[in-house]
Amino acid sequence: MRARTYAIFTVVALGAAGYFALPYTPIPGYVSAFTARVSALTGFGADRIRSRVLPDMEKRLKDANIAVGAPVYLRAFTADHEIEVWLRGDHRYSEIQDATFCQDAETGNATFQTPPPGVYTISRDNLAPNSPKNVELSLTPLPDEDAPSPTRATITYSLHGNCADGPGIALKNEDIEQIYLLVDAALRAGQQSVPVHIFEKPAAMDDSQTLTEDATGNTPAPGLYDAYAAFERTRIPPEVHKSDGRYQVDPAN
């Protein structure tokens, strides 16, 4: 009898200890990451906005002879607090939407945490349909082929809603929801990743002009505005890689 009582007491004690210790273990983080991954892959969570936003979006794109699922290109200008959404038609891309960053009066200091000018991508792993910021698209910086792997954590920037504070570009929900659905549809239709080019302002500039700090105190890498000029010339997002700290545009562009 005493042994049985001791065994029951031990099980209860271990259970209680596990319950109180769980928040201090990596397990909740693993569970959160796993559920976020499943949500992104299945689209679960985005359904709450898809049925509300998609019908009007499909009609608007149909009028422009563009289908939902067409490849997407995003271009942002930090000085103007504006992001542009471009979709591919038969061959070239057309701008189908633009949105203004949330301003200080709406979101505290979010506009001062915009990503540094540069080239980023969004892939399936970067989608978070159940984010506390409504929906969220994390930005992956284009890696430098000659740079060593980072030894410390870097800031993760994102496009997100709720005009929420935090690193990235904060947008109103009606804007981020449309961008999210277009990016999600393009990735599902086969686009490997969505390019996101962030500049200080829309202007063709050479390195001597761009190698100065922008309004957020960031210095763009050399060659960034070659990507801007290439898109302005062709209306097709250029293939870009980064080597030895410099962006290089594919000569075909």
Contacts of residue 150, Cβ cutoff 8 Å, sequence gap at least 6: none
Give the model's pLDDT for residue 249: 94
Half-sphere exposure of 15 (CA within 13 A, CB side): 6
Give the model's pLDDT for residue 96: 95
Give the model's pLDDT for residue 46: 75
CB 168 within 8 A of CB 113: yes
- Residue-wise pLDDT for 150-173, tens only, equals 655 578 999 999 999 889 999 999
Q: Can you spell out the DSSP letters for 136-192?
A: EEE-EEPPBTTSPPPSS--PPPEEESTT--SSEEE--HHHHHHHHHHHHHHHHTT-S
- Rounded to an integer, the average pLDDT of 206-235 is 71
- Rounded to an integer, the average pLDDT of 209-214 is 45
CB 118 within 8 A of CB 227: no
Give the model's pLDDT for residue 150: 62
Distance CA 97, CA 105 (A): 23
Give the model's pLDDT for residue 30: 42
Distance CA 221, CA 118 (A): 7
CB 101 within 8 A of CB 171: yes
Residue 78 phi/psi, 5-degree rounding, is -70, -35
Question: Is the pLDDT confidence value at 91 over 80?
Answer: yes
- Torsion sign across C-alpha atoms 127, 128, 129, 134: negative
Distance CA 32, CA 119 (A): 28
- Rounded to an integer, the average pLDDT of 228-241 is 95
- Residue-wise pLDDT for 14-69, tens only, equals 554 544 454 445 444 443 444 344 444 444 457 878 888 989 999 999 988 999 99
Distance CA 217, CA 215 (A): 6
The residue ranking higher by pLDDT, 103 or 206, is 103
The mean pLDDT value of the chain amounts to 80
- What angle (nearest 5°) sits at the alpha carbon of residue 132, between those of residues 126 and 133? 70
- Residue-wise pLDDT for 104-148, tens only, equals 654 444 445 889 999 999 999 999 999 999 999 999 999 998 777
